[in-house]
Structure 1
């Protein structure tokens, strides 16, 4: 299986036309760009959020063009420390134009199954998937690109089902 890097995946935001949707299913992530700010947060130290500037700039540009960037974060309650940190930062994503919703795992519909072996994915314009792959410690390995119409349709159906159930960030109180 061929994987693209996070930087290569981020370049997909330059070519989609209408909607990018991210399904997040993990309660902990490992990313080198987040390691230092996350450790600082755990110690109660202030953050200038400069490490987020490239993503925020990209999101502002994309959403100012009328494109939507949405996420549903399926999370376990009570939250892991990582999800608590992520929740504290989400206001910045929203300010940059993303629409982010939260769905407590215990509120998933009975029988809900996730395609792609439960991996996270980005779905671009209901035509292209970038499926996240992680090592056993939760570190990002890269993303697999999939254009198979059947798999894309299955993911779009999950997106539509969960989007309607998830709680907008401004209303979600952990």
Structure 2
């Protein structure tokens, strides 16, 4: 069943227990990251001590969601050696952690025997899926929402299998 795609604030507001996000691409070309990625490639790094320079509405949303008792987890399946884009994500992930999100990294070679959905997704309370579609170049191709119970089960099982094998952000070593 396909539903209207809610905004991320609406999506996370609907969570009462859990919000999990699985990312499986080695690079994304989403518009809101083009400038920051270019800056990162030019040597600009976020200073953890200068919170005002990197705190943004997304982190407010995560902090508010976690503050309501919702567990927010993100797992990233990555090829190694990692792409420049993955290094960029890794360098900025301390901001997600500071907001209360739990993040883990799984080398792709360790995911070969996990049944994975064809697209990145958010799964809310094991019932509502927000599929994230991308073009071949990594640009957003829009989202789709589903309450299909079989798909939700696949997403939940896939996420938990990835999470179990993945390395917590604070101990993952970039290669």
CA distance 1:134–1:10, change in 2 (3 Å): farther
Contact 1:29-1:138 within 8 A present in 2 as well: yes
CA-based RMSD: 1.9
CA distance in 2 between partners of 1:46 and 1:63 (Å): 26
CA distance in 2 between partners of 1:68 and 1:91 (Å): 17
**In structure 2, the residue corresponding to 1:171 is in which secondary structure?**
coil
Which residue is equivalent to 1:113? 115
Contact 1:9-1:143 within 8 A present in 2 as well: no
**In structure 1, the residue corresponding to 2:80 is in which secondary structure?**
coil
1:60 and 2:59 correspond: no
* TM-score between the two structures when normalised by the length of structure 1: 0.90
Pairing 1:1-174 to 2, within 5 Å after superposition:
4=5, 8-47=7-46, 50=53, 53-110=56-113, 112-115=114-117, 118-174=118-174
CA distance in 2 between partners of 1:109 and 1:84 (Å): 22
* TM-score between the two structures when normalised by the length of structure 2: 0.89
**In structure 2, the residue corresponding to 1:17 is in which secondary structure?**
coil
5+ residue gaps in structure 2?
none
